[in-house]
Amino acid sequence: MNSIEFLEDYFNEDEHFIIAQKHPIGADGKVKNYHTMLNIKDTNFKKQLGRFYYLNKNDGVDIYFSLNTYKPQNTFHPSRKEEFVNSIKSFYFDIDKGDIEEKKRKIIELFGEPTYKTESSLRKFQFIYKFKEAHIVKNKEERDYFKKLLKGLIYHFDVDKTFDTARIFRLAGYMNKKTQNNNFIVTVEKFPNYYNFTDFENVAKNYLLAEAEAKKPCQKTAETRPKAMINKNTDIDSSRAEFEEYKGIKKIVNRKYIELLNKYNQDKSTADLAYARWLRTSKQITDDEIIIKKIFEARGYEDIMKKHQYQIQYYIENLLSKSL
């Protein structure tokens, strides 16, 4: 499938979505990001995708699409903030590290083949399980509930730890312009499989993390998780030991981090990633140890450990790799 075929298959005519364009680092050392809101029945839909093709080919711009739909915004610069997400189209996994084939197998074993299987770079994959009907987001509580369900699965499978509803994936037909990927052309394979939100919920609620006691019908406590999940996370002391040197760090007021927290509606995981990216791009910090320390200073040791101690090593590694 090319980009037009994919987008026309994924989105309905009454839905709006965002195409994100990430430019390479400029002379000022900054990465510029632009958003364009589209609808597949727009008269300039195909023309816009053509423009993105040449930006990607000639200017090294990476092209992404929003997995979920957005409320129309009366601006030339639409926001990709979660507060503007209108509906959730699918649940999704980004499988880009470790034993990728084994992780693919385990996900398919639990859910079946995805609706779309994207190869985003050589032997790295993204699975998209599309809902038969988009799940309308009526309020923040519903959005947070979906994120908690997805987060539990993501940590269980140990795949990319980004689970926000503003998530973007690389768009098929465009080149991955990260230097190490050698202009790899993103491809997508379609399968005739669709899912209901309740199908996803009934499986995912068994993998809720201890922090995610969701206030939703059919709620279950973390005690209902399978023993395999509990056993995986029992070695908390060894995980904490990796970051013992940061134990005495107290939260330090950080204006930039507060700004990011407000931008991402107090979602600390998303703010942590944005802060790490800002440290690398705006502050030109390349030393991972300095970045880790600054994140602990922005959050405070106990706050991070309270939320992520069960997977703190995976969490920090993910922040560092995704901020590159």
Q: What confidence tier does 240 reach under pLDDT thresholds 50, 70, 90?
A: low
Give the Cα-Cα-Cα angle 168, 318, 219 (nearest 5 degrees).
Answer: 70
pLDDT greater than 70 at residue 127: yes
Cα-based angle 193, 191, 138 (whole degrees, multiple of 5): 50
Q: What is the pLDDT of residue 213?
A: 44
Residue 321: its H or E element: helix 312-322
- Relative to beta strand 85-95, strand 124-136 is antiparallel
pLDDT exceeds cutoff 90 at 177: yes
More confident position, 293 or 239: 293
Among candidate residues 157, 148, 272, the one with its CA nearest the CA of residue 209:
148
Q: What is the pLDDT of residue 309?
A: 74
Rounded average pLDDT over 60-81: 93
Domain boundaries, the chain: 3-207, 235-322
Mean pLDDT throughout 71-90?
92
Query: With bands split at pLDDT 50, 70 and 90, how would you rate the model's confidence at 244?
Result: confident
DSSP 232-256: HT--HHHHHHTTGGGTTPPP---HH
Q: Binning pLDDT at 50, 70 and 90, where does residue 317 land?
A: confident
**% of the chain exceeding 90 in pLDDT:** 59
pLDDT score recorded for residue 241: 57
Overall fold of domain 3-207 = Alpha-Beta Plaits (3.30.70)
The strand pair at 175-176 and 184-185 is best described as antiparallel
Q: Average model confidence (pLDDT) for the chain? A: 86
Helix, strand, coil share of the chain (percent; to 5): 45, 20, 35
Q: What is the pLDDT of residue 310?
A: 63
Instruction: Check: CB of residue 17 under 8 Å from CB of residue 70.
Output: yes
The pLDDT tens digits for 193-232 are 999 999 999 999 999 986 534 444 444 333 333 333 323 3
pLDDT beyond 80 at 10: yes
pLDDT tens digits, 130-143? 999 999 999 999 99
The model's pLDDT over 16-70, given as tens digits with 9 standing for 90+, comes to: 999 999 998 888 777 888 999 999 999 999 999 999 999 999 999 999 999 999 9
Output the DSSP codes for 59-117: H--EEEEESSEE---SSSS----GGGEEEEEEEEEEE-SSSHHHHHHHHHHHH-S-SEE
Query: How far is Cα 265 from Cα 210, in angstroms, rounded to an integer?
Result: 21
Q: Looking at 28-32, 101-105, 155-159, 277-281, which range is the least confident one? A: 28-32
